[in-house]
Amino acid sequence: MRPNWIWRLSAAALLGAVLAYFAREAITKAIVLPLSYAWWVAGVLFRSVPQMLFWILGSALALILLVDSLLPRLVTYSRALAARRVHRGQVEALSEWLLNAPRGTYLKWLVANRLGKTAREILAQRDGEPVAVRAGPLAGRDWAPPNDVARFLDAGVNASFADFPRPRGPWSPSPRSPLDLDPEVVIRYLEGQMGDVP
């Protein structure tokens, strides 16, 4: 025994065919003739436009797409060349690192590394040694920085940026590390130590 919906579908198809047969003239006048006339008018209009205009429009579109796809590369290349031409000194590099330090562990470590090397130079000059001889932990005559400053400077010269934890995801908070100290505190301490350097 066939399901009930098959009979209903067959009856609807048969009814539609009968109605289409009897309403074929009305459908032809209401739908088929207006559509065919619109198609014929569109063809006449298309053929009346000069072929050269289509070639010009197509060439202009291709040129726009080509320039649009090449322009970002050209702009990036020119910026890279300009960046290569400009030579930045240590002070400019350090100021840029300080501005961008909140963005990541690596930039924080670069600031700590530069300030740690400065502390090492201060200690070497204070003890009358060449800077190249200095290595290891930061220690010397009258050297007693606060704990957070000492940890910051030690992280800069005796650790790598890879030693410090990074956020687990883009929305997770950064884990705390000695590099989170405000560099201004360290700079003030080092400025105070510069007074002791002959």
pLDDT tens by residue, 56-109: 999 999 998 888 777 766 666 666 666 555 566 666 666 666 666 566 677 777
Total of domains in the chain: 3
Q: How far is CA 15 from the centre of its chain?
A: 62
Indicate whether 94 and 188 sit together in one domain. Answer: yes
Indicate whether 28 and 8 sit together in one domain. Answer: yes
On the 0-12 / 13-18 / 19+ scale of CB atoms within 10 A, 152 is buried
Per-residue confidence (pLDDT) for residue 62, from 0 to 100: 92
Indicate whether 4 and 81 sit together in one domain. Answer: no
Give the whole-number percent of the chain exceeding pLDDT 70: 67
Tell me the two tokens of residue 182.
Answer: 């405000």
- Which of left, alpha, beta for 125 (phi over 0: left; psi -120 to 50: alpha)? alpha
How would residue 36 be classed by pLDDT, with cut points 50, 70 and 90? very high
Query: In the chain, what are the helix, strand and coil shares in percent, each to the nearest 5?
Result: 75, 0, 25
Indicate whether 101 and 12 sit together in one domain. Answer: no
Tokens 């796809």 belong to: 69
Indicate whether 65 and 28 sit together in one domain. Answer: no
Indicate whether 33 and 62 sit together in one domain. Answer: no
Indicate whether 96 and 65 sit together in one domain. Answer: no
Indicate whether 31 and 99 sit together in one domain. Answer: no
Per-residue confidence (pLDDT) for residue 1, from 0 to 100: 44
pTM of the full structure: 0.47
Q: How many residues does the chain have?
A: 198
Indicate whether 56 and 94 sit together in one domain. Answer: no
Query: d(Cα 64, Cα 111) in Å, to the nearest integer?
Result: 45
Query: d(Cα 94, Cα 30) in Å, to the nearest integer?
Result: 78
Tokens 């032809």 belong to: 28
Indicate whether 163 and 147 sit together in one domain. Answer: yes
pLDDT tens by residue, 167-192: 665 566 666 777 777 778 887 887 78
Indicate whether 38 and 60 sit together in one domain. Answer: no
For residue 120, the enclosing domain spans: 90-194
Indicate whether 172 and 121 sit together in one domain. Answer: yes
